[in-house]
C-alpha cells in the first residue's frame, strides 16, 4: 500500500496558501495549512510560499519562528521547499529600493532587482521556459520546452555556492532568462525551491510538485 505523504504549508501571512494546498492535494499529498511548530517539524515535507516584499516576508517568517523551523528541519535532513519569495528568503540577503535585509542564509547570494530592456519589462509576469539542471529530479518527466508561471520583480542573478567537497552532491541549479539569466529553481539536498509558481503552472506545475512529494 502506498503511504500518503504529509505536507505542511507554512502559514506565516505571506503566500498563496490555499492555491498551494490544492496543488499539493492534486499531487497526492495529505496537506495542512498551519504555523504550529510541532506540526511543521513533524511533517514529511514543509512548503514555504511567499508573495510581496522580501523584508516583509522575512519579518513574517521570524515572527512565526519560521527561520528556526526551517533551520532545524534542514539540520536534520528534513525536506523543505520554497516558492517565489519563499525561495528568495533562503539566500543571504535581499535588496529592495536600496534597503538591504538579511535573509535565512541557507545559500550565499543576493536577491536584487530584475533587469529590463526594450523587450522585457518588470515585473516579470507570465509564462516562461527554464533550463533544468542536468539530472534534475524536480523536472523529471517534463518536456524541455515546458513553460511555468512567474510573477516577480526581484531574483538571484548569480549562483555563489560551491561545495568544494567531492563527497557532497553539487546543487542542481535551473536557470531562466528575462533580459538576463536568473535562478529559476534549486535542488540542494533536502532544500528545494522555485522562483516560479508551480501551483499556478497547470499540469506542468502539478507534475513538478508530484515529483517533490514523491521524494519525501
Please list the pLDDT of the chain residue by residue as tens digits (216 residues): 446 799 999 999 998 899 999 999 999 999 999 999 999 999 999 999 999 999 999 999 999 999 999 999 999 999 999 999 999 999 999 999 889 999 999 999 999 999 999 899 999 999 999 999 999 999 999 999 999 999 999 999 999 987 655 556 789 999 999 999 999 999 999 999 999 999 999 999 999 999 999 999
Active-site option among 124, 152, 178, 197 = 197
Is cis: bond before 123, omega within 30 of 0? yes
From the candidates 57, 84, 124, 152, which is the catalytic residue?
84
Domain 5-213, classified CATH 3.30.2350.10, yes or no: no
- pLDDT tens-digit profile of 156-167? 999 998 765 555
152 catalytically annotated: no
- Indicate which residue of 21, 146, 187, 199 is catalytic: 199
Q: Is 198 helix (H, G, I), strand (E, B) or coil?
A: helix
Q: Is 84 a catalytic residue?
A: yes
Cell of 65: 519562528
88: closest CA among 76, 78, 101, 75?
A: 101
* pLDDT of 1: 41
Q: Is 216 exposed, middle or buried, given 0-12, 13-18 or 19+ CB atoms closer than 10 A?
A: middle
Distance CA(202)–CA(21), nearest Å, equals 14
Amino acid at each position: 500500500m502506498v503511504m500518503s505523504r504529509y505536507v505542511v504549508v507554512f502559514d506565516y501571512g505571506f503566500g498563496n496558501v490555499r492555491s498551494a494546498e490544492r496543488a499539493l492535494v492534486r499531487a497526492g499529498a495529505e496537506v495542512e495549512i498551519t504555523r504550529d511548530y510541532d506540526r511543521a517539524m513533524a511533517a514529511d515535507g514543509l512548503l514555504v510560499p511567499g508573495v510581496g516584499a522580501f523584508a516583509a516576508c522575512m519579518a513574517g517568517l521570524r515572527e512565526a519562528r519560521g527561520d528556526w523551523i526551517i533551520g532545524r528541519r534542514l539540520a536534520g535532513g528534513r525536506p523543505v521547499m520554497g516558492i517565489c519569495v519563499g525561495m528568495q528568503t533562503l539566500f543571504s540577503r535581499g535588496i529592495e529600493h536600496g534597503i538591504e535585509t538579511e535573509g535565512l542564509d541557507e545559500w550565499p547570494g543576493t536577491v536584487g532587482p530584475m533587469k529590463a530592456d526594450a523587450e522585457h519589462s518588470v515585473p516579470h509576469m507570465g509564462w516562461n521556459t527554464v533550463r533544468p539542471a542536468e539530472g534534475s529530479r524536480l523536472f523529471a518527466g517534463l518536456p524541455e520546452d515546458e513553460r511555468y508561471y512567474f510573477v516577480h520583480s526581484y531574483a538571484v542573478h548569480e549562483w555563489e555556492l560551491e561545495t568544494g567537497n567531492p563527497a557532497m552532491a553539487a546543487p542542481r541549479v535551473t536557470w531562466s532568462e528575462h533580459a538576463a539569466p536568473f535562478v529559476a529553481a534549486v535542488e540542494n539536498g533536502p532544500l528545494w525551491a522555485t522562483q516560479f509558481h508551480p501551483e499556478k503552472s497547470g499540469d506542468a506545475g502539478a507534475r513538478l510538485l508530484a515529483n517533490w512529494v514523491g521524494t519525501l
